[in-house]
Structure 1
Amino acid sequence: MNTSPALADRHGSPAAPQPSPHPGLARHPGFRRLFRPGALTVGLILPLETHPGRPAPTMEGHIEMAQRADRLGVGALWMRDIPFYDPHYGDVAQIFEPLVYIAHLAAVTRRIALGTTGIVLPTREPLMLAKQAASLDQLSGGRLVLGLSSGDRPSDYPMFGIDYESRGERYRDAYGVLRTLLEQRYPRYDSARFGHAGGLLDLVPRPAFGRIPAIAVGQSQQHLDWLARHMDGYLAFVPQPGELATLGRAWRAQVAAQHDTPVFKPLGIGGYFDLHEDPHHPFMRVPGGFRAGREGLRDYLEQAREAGVSHIALNPKVSRQPYAEILDQLADTILPAFPAHE
């Protein structure tokens, strides 16, 4: 019997099975648009406005800018979860509550994935979050990608009456309840923090494609092996170019160790991005992210793709150019080389 070339290596031996995502994610439009082995896509962390040195954007023209990003083929728009203005941090992201804002953007865009970087899970009630996420997934046609973080602002936690030091445990507890609600019909669970379900009630609506992608934003006070086992992917802080390969190997090794069969769980990176006027300016670290010219950015993304990174989420709010000019440069140089998956 002849071995199909697609199933054999160059020596004629059967090739190793290729990793694939969870069956529910293989059909999910948001996941499919952003994540594929061996490829890298580009997304934007909101607001779609540059405002270096100011805590809040104006949000003028944000709908038109989101629609333009959709038309240009940007992979995703990512919303941060910052409920309060803390002068110590001096940053309120896109101002609007992220899940409410996603619902608005879903109504005025067509293809672009809509994600969170990330919902501060320890401060959220997982029953309501499950209802919100399933509703958004239905209303957006399966474009929701749920990024979940543990939060890094101690000042927020007293406002919720939650002990900041408990956030790692609360994350695991809330995530277990969230997954159970979204993926089990008539769910059963027992949580000291988030209530009990005895299989008598069912969540409505259900996720549009059976599963909503849930990725860790940062390590969320968890060990990497826990993330590799339980989450659908991992979005890390942008590393130095020389650290990309190490990050990629570490994540793939953990995913392989936690599963009996090959599974694709994407690795992403994200942070602030300052577009330098010199197009060839190489990667240079800045607080919370990096600076590069458009060609320097392309070089970095090529290295990231080779290292196994599937997505980069850029936050250009610290750049000095108008946002429209940044989108023009991304459309000319970056997006054709790193297109979203249609």
Structure 2
Amino acid sequence: MTTPLERLTAGGFSIGLEAPLDHDWTPAGDQARRRDGRQFGEPDLARHAALAQLADRLGYRALWVRDVPLYDPSFGDAAQVFEVFAYLGYLAGITRDILLGTAAVVLPIREPLLTLKSASSVQRLSGNRLLLGVASGDRPVEYPLFGRDFEGRGNAFRKQVALLRDGANGHLPEGLAVLPSTASPLPLLVAGLAQQSPEWIGSNLDGCLAYPGTPDDHRHRVAAWRAVAGNKPYSSFIHLDLADNPDEPLQRWRFGFRGGRKALAAELRALRAVGVDHIGLHLRRNVRPLDETLREIAEYVLPQFHETKTQLTEATP
């Protein structure tokens, strides 16, 4: 059976998306947010299911969701709003092929056995499509609310990785088990260093979820990752505003850029050349309608990088 990690990197490079599938960070999106009475950073989820299904049909490799248990205005972002494992279970039921990733589950504030059961359930229900991104967390306000120690999150992270690795078999009294069992270990990708040494991360995790950056940024980060992790997958994200004009040149901003599809393809080629294995596109800054944007990228950009030709005959949701 092909593993989710093998599917992620099939062909040597792949392109996915990061939820929420909304453009609420644009002026028009912010105006709609105010009209609807949503919090700043709270996306419009009216079309989330239809857009996830469209992304699946168009051949995007993965859909990544974030884990933000509590909305904190000081961070200014509610992420994709839904509880991460409940949402992944829902997405597993309405999609067929697209990989489902977390970027990333904050392990130390979660009950370890329930995290294992939730992740294993999504893995089984999705047909082995889960990519479990994990992290130690960076929001101190959350820890006391969950009865957890912020300063001890690094040690808690290591213990939970060990439990996830062996399916809790070495952590339970004889005769007890966490079901459903999985055919293979859950694929674990790390966001940041999770309060660990690079060497520990490289040895104990299966892939890297790196912060967005330029190709030159990633050149140095990939080299550091390869030094401790070998050929394990290296993934990152781009905050993209795809221009109408396919020839519009790239204009960088923090975590991404605006540009036409030719600039996007050139940036992706540069990222592939420095060793990046997967890029998730974050579209909350995207001015154009998202279904239109997804279709254009699928028609003109995905075929340059993915193994199979994207099918574009499905009806717009």
TM over 0.5: yes
Contact preservation (8 Å) 2:236, 2:280: yes
Distance change >3 Å, CA 210–CA 60, structure 1 → 2: same
Q: 1:1-342, aligned counterparts within 5 Å?
A: 27-28=2-3, 30-36=4-10, 39-52=12-25, 53=30, 54-181=40-167, 187-189=169-171, 197-207=172-182, 209-256=183-230, 264-277=231-244, 279=246, 280-282=248-250, 284-286=252-254, 288-339=255-306
Contact preservation (8 Å) 2:163, 2:170: no
When structure 1 is superposed on structure 2, of 293-302 and 139-148 the one drifting more is 293-302
- Supply the distance in 1 between the matched residues of 2:197 and 2:304 (Cα, whole angstroms): 34
Distance change >3 Å, CA 306–CA 233, structure 1 → 2: same
| Counterpart position of 1:13 | none
Distance change >3 Å, CA 154–CA 276, structure 1 → 2: farther
- Supply the distance in 2 between the matched residues of 1:285 and 1:224 (Cα, whole angstroms): 28
| Counterpart position of 1:21 | none
Q: Which amino acid aligns with 1:159?
A: L
- Supply the distance in 1 between the matched residues of 2:72 and 2:9 (Cα, whole angstroms): 34
| Counterpart position of 2:314 | none
**1:223: how far off?**
2.0
Distance change >3 Å, CA 155–CA 206, structure 1 → 2: same
Count of aligned pairs: 295
Contact preservation (8 Å) 1:282, 1:292: yes
Q: Which amino acid aligns with 2:170?
A: R
Distance change >3 Å, CA 276–CA 151, structure 1 → 2: farther
Contact preservation (8 Å) 1:33, 1:341: no
**1:284: how far off?**
1.2
Normalising by the residue count of structure 2, what TM-score does the alignment of the two structures yield?
0.86
Contact preservation (8 Å) 1:103, 1:139: yes
- Supply the distance in 1 between the matched residues of 2:64 and 2:207 (Cα, whole angstroms): 15
**1:341: how far off?**
7.1
Distance change >3 Å, CA 324–CA 86, structure 1 → 2: same
Q: Which amino acid aligns with 2:203?
A: R
Distance change >3 Å, CA 300–CA 329, structure 1 → 2: same
Contact preservation (8 Å) 1:188, 1:199: no
Q: Which amino acid aligns with 1:238?
A: P
- Supply the distance in 2 between the matched residues of 1:242 and 1:203 (Cα, whole angstroms): 44
Contact preservation (8 Å) 2:63, 2:99: yes
Contact preservation (8 Å) 2:24, 2:284: yes
**1:326: how far off?**
1.9
- Supply the distance in 1 between the matched residues of 2:207 and 2:158 (Cα, whole angstroms): 15
CA RMSD of aligned residues (A): 2.0
Q: Which amino acid aligns with 2:186?
A: I
1:305 match: secondary structure: helix
Distance change >3 Å, CA 160–CA 248, structure 1 → 2: same
Contiguous gaps of at least 5 residues in structure 1: 1-25, 190-196, 257-263
Deviations 1:218-266 (A, max 9, x none): 222222211110001011012222233222222112124xxxxxxx411
**1:172: how far off?**
1.1
2:160 match: secondary structure: helix
Contiguous gaps of at least 5 residues in structure 2: 31-39, 310-317
Q: Which amino acid aligns with 1:70?
A: D
